[in-house]
Amino acid sequence: MIVIDKLCYSSRLRYTNAEVKFTYAILTLLFCVISRSLVMAAIVLTVNGILTVGKGRIPFVVYRRLMLIPLAFILLSTGAVIVNVSKSPLDAYAIPIGSWYMTGSRASLMFAARLILSAFAAVSCLYFLSLNTTMTDILGVLAKIHCPQMMVELMLLIYRFIFVLTQTASAIQTSQKSRLGYQDFKTSVRSFGQMAAVLFIRALKRSNALYDAMESRGYDGRIRVLQESYPPKRKEIVLVVLFEIALLVGCILQLP
């Protein structure tokens, strides 16, 4: 199983109502993106960390490692905002390069800080949802809010094939390693290319076999999955509503 999936099934928030968690995650994410507030982003990061690590009992070391993965991409994507090349220095910093300057303004630094923290807080909302809600529950919520049936079924099939391809790739890689297929860079590149080619062919075969199996079991164009029902608690609903109202007030007041 994938690490996130393992953590999800072991989370203490797994049996919390999926609609409540989904609503909280999506609304909080939207408020973070709309407000671009440092204060609100810091609050959301803190609350999501407490819920995921404190209430959900997800190990802090694992949560930190997962959060550092998107942080690298966020920092790289905001580099263009922070660094400018100009003939005239700006007010924040200026590094001379010949007759030019690698420079930046205070406004651009503040904008980059808002962008980084808001994006990081939005990612924490998605991690809260994915680390505490099973994929079948998420798909069930999407079906209840009338997402296109085709999209929900494609998500389910793609989710299933992630495990199939991961297991197949792991078996092929283990076989290659036993034959010294990764002893240097050249053989590693060649082995990886061979693995990708074989994986593509096996994926096609597996997809045909899966469709034949579904047809033999009476597939009529719709995938039906049994789902457990976890009724929402009044306390959870009240807390989510109060928190979202507080974020809405923060958006209206335009917190820094």
Q: What is the residue-averaged pLDDT of the chain?
A: 84
* Higher-pLDDT residue of 80, 13: 13
Distance CA 256, CA 140 (A): 37
Give the pLDDT score at 205. 83
At 123-145, the pLDDT tens digits run: 999 999 989 988 888 888 888 88
* Higher-pLDDT residue of 102, 190: 190
DSSP assignment letter at 52:
I
The full length of the chain comes to 256
This model's pTM is above 0.75? yes
Using 50, 70 and 90 to split pLDDT, how confident is the model at 5? Answer: confident
Average pLDDT, integer, range 6-12: 86
* pLDDT greater than 80 at residue 89: no
* pLDDT greater than 70 at residue 85: yes
Average pLDDT, integer, range 231-251: 90
**Contact, 22 vs 133, CB < 8 A?**
yes
* Higher-pLDDT residue of 88, 66: 66
Average pLDDT, integer, range 31-57: 90
At 161-195, the pLDDT tens digits run: 887 788 788 888 888 888 877 888 888 888 888 88
131: helix, strand or coil: helix
Max mean pLDDT among 14-23, 87-96, 133-142 falls in 14-23
DSSP assignment letter at 51:
I
Distance CA 73, CA 67 (A): 11
Distance CA 223, CA 160 (A): 13
* pLDDT greater than 70 at residue 1: no
* pLDDT greater than 80 at residue 3: no
Give the pLDDT score at 121. 92
DSSP assignment letter at 233:
P
At which residue do the structure tokens 């990061």 appear? 45
So where are the chain's domains?
A: 3-133+229-253, 144-216
Helix, strand, coil tally for the chain in percent (to 5): 70, 5, 25
Question: Is the backbone of residue 254 left (phi > 0), alpha (psi -120 to 50) or beta?
Answer: left
CA angle 129, 135, 138 (to 5 degrees): 60
* pLDDT greater than 90 at residue 197: no
Q: Residue 38 carries which side chain, given as an amino acid letter?
A: L
